[in-house]
Amino acid sequence: MNVNDSRVLNLILEKKIITIVRGTYGDDLRKLAHALYDGGIRFMEVTFDQKDPDCIAKTAGAISMLNAEFAGCDFYAGAGTLQRSRSRPLSMQVQATSFHPTRIQR
């Protein structure tokens, strides 16, 4: 997802909510995402929990799972602000987009 895509940017401006999730993975994350989607939420930031030594693999896997689960739907999973150099390459592999506020201001 590219937040510079006008359709996605307009959806962000319309919905006005980006959920932030940390430390939730697998089926719990899938259920949460479906509940949010059913409630009209279309954006989820999955953060890299720096306290978890496996955060890079877990978060990249979570974003990949969500992007596959919601392929073709207007539901977008991405990463938060990517500050650690080792998290950037993995976020690119799973096609995660940073939902940094300065990128979606209008």
Tens of pLDDT along the chain (106 residues) come to 555 567 777 877 887 888 999 889 999 999 999 999 999 999 999 988 888 888 888 888 999 899 899 988 888 888 765 555 554 555 455 554 545 444 444 4
- Type of residue at 104: I
pTM over 0.75: no
Q: Are 90 and 79 in contact (CB under 8 A)?
A: no
6-103, which class in CATH? alpha beta
Amino acid 100: pLDDT = 47
**Domain segments of the chain as ranges:** 6-103
**Other CB atoms within 10 A of residue 13 CB:** 11
Amino acid 101: pLDDT = 45
Cα dihedral: 73, 15, 102, 44 (round 10): -50
Amino acid 17: pLDDT = 87
